[in-house]
Amino acid sequence: MEGQVSSMPTSLVYLDLSGNALTGLSAPLPHAIKYISLNDNKIVKLPKKLPTSIQYINLKNNWLDSLPKSIFSMPKDTEIHLNQNPLSVKTILKLNKFVNKTNFIGPKFFIKK
């Protein structure tokens, strides 16, 4: 399944499209979605708006170099796995600054190159 995902059911809660050579998601993510696994694809860009219902998102081993602003507004219990992505220095510095705030209450980021 190489390419993009163009539509999804609105009641979708769990989505696993790991290992499909996807380059992106052109369809908006459903507002009810809680678990997303998109690891081992070729995703270069995430949608600008991510639903705040997401509790877990696995984006390991993709081609992401930047992140949308909405990812920093995710609930504090959200797990965001970004391991093995070519994140830009600017993005890494922004993440570092964000999670090292004195009163940090935000999502849990997991990053390793």
Q: How many residues does the chain have?
A: 113
Residue 43: give its domain's CATH number.
Answer: 3.80.10.10
Task: Return the C-alpha torsion angle 95, 49, 20, 107, nearest 10.
Answer: 40
Is the pTM higher than 0.85? The answer reads yes
Residue 23: CB atoms within 10 Å: 17
Per-residue pLDDT, 74: 92
Domain that holds residue 46: 3-110
80-110 pLDDT tens trace: 999 999 999 999 999 998 888 867 788 999 9
Phi, psi of 35 (to 5 degrees): -125, 125
Domain count, the chain: 1
With CA atoms as reference, report the closest residue to 58 among 82, 25, 76. Answer: 82
d(CA 75, CA 72): 9
Is the predicted pLDDT of residue 112 greater than 80, yes or no?
no
Per-residue pLDDT, 28: 84
With CA atoms as reference, report the closest residue to 53 among 94, 107, 112, 16. Answer: 107
58-69 pLDDT tens trace: 999 999 999 999
